[in-house]
Amino acid sequence: MSISLSSLILLPIWINMSQIQQGGPDEKEKTTALKDLLSRIDLDELMKKDEPPLDFPDTLEGFEYAFNEKGQLRHIKTGEPFVFNYREDLHRWNQKRYEALGEIITKYVYDLLEKDCNLKKIFIPVDATESEPKSFIFMSEDALTNPQKLMVLIHGSGVVRAGQWARKLIINEDLDSGTQIPFIKRAMDEGYGVIVLNPNENCIEVEKPKTHVQSSSDSSDEPVEKRERKDKVSKETKKRRDFYEKYRNPQREKEMMQLYIRENGSPEEHTVYVWDHFIAKSAAENVFFVAHSYGGLAFVELMIQREADVKSKVTAVALTDSVHNVWHQEAGKTIREWMRENCCNWVSSSEPLDTSVESMLPDCPRVSAGKDSP
């Protein structure tokens, strides 16, 4: 296992300090001197020698990757799959690189939904002002006017966004495995209108404004000497905190704050909002849901809040590895009975496809998805 440059430099100092601190009072001066030495080390510069800048491309081409004709992500020069450990022993940097690539793939999938699936991007809230935070969903041209059938897709929690089931599968397997595109195309081929929810797009991030922290001496009526002592302690505390923060996070990133989207601040809120403003107003006689993981929990919450409306409009619900819990969510008896008749949860299992799988909860049937992992 390789050892970073900073570790090699700092290790003897830490060891020496440990040995000195085990000594008697006469060693206190040495301890103080070593602490002073450590405080003089510019860890910003030291650590930057270990970790490259967190500055990544904003296009697939910049990463030198592209999706081939099979929908697989491959290096444009070597043809190899994506490599997570691009820089050995730099996990944080590799993770940031992976996340940057993931953001590009999210935009790539959005583009496919519009260009390849012919869906429309619809911004929400529907009455949003120009300046307020917004989210969006995707709909087929006939989503609200199709008189027969409407398919609604809800993904799970985490980094995934509209059109995705699992980012990991998109990157490591292919687009068909990790996106909702095969479901969307088949539904449209079979005459369904389609609505694709975006339940994880709950807020926008903006840079946090810098605030001036007033020192205790600015507003205190305490004696001057006492204020000076307190200010000195405060400065020393801040110095130590900054020292360790430099070591932990040498490339200090911008502090961000979240501005939540009105009536869409959580997956559950988003699902109810889209129901009220789109699904409930659709002309379809039969509405079908496909909900994965946390999407199943969001659907159950929708049932709890709009039970009569859901029962009158929804024909069937296909859940996949749903994490809903009718007890914790306090779903009533009538909801549980409806779910037993109208829902099915396909779960990860080594059993053959559609084999019944035992459930501890008195809700919908559970059957094998025919594979061990989602």
Q: Residues with catalytic annotation? A: 293
DSSP string over 2-14:
---HHHHHHHHHH
Cα distances (angstroms) measured from residue 186 to each of 20, 116, 191, 302? 71, 13, 9, 26
Cα atoms found within 13 Å of the Cα of residue 306, Cβ hemisphere only: 19
Q: Using CA atoms, how far apart are residues 240 and 246, in angstroms rounded to an integer?
A: 10
- Decide if 138 contacts 195 (C-beta within 8 A): yes
User: What is the number of other CB atoms lying within 10 angstroms of the CB of residue 141?
Assistant: 13
Q: Residue 181: which H helix or E strand, with range?
A: helix 181-189
**Best CA proximity match to 31, nearest among 22, 42, 21:** 21
Name every residue whose Cβ is closer than 8 Å to that of residue 163 and which is 6 or more positions away in sequence: 109, 110, 112, 113, 138, 179, 180, 181, 184, 196
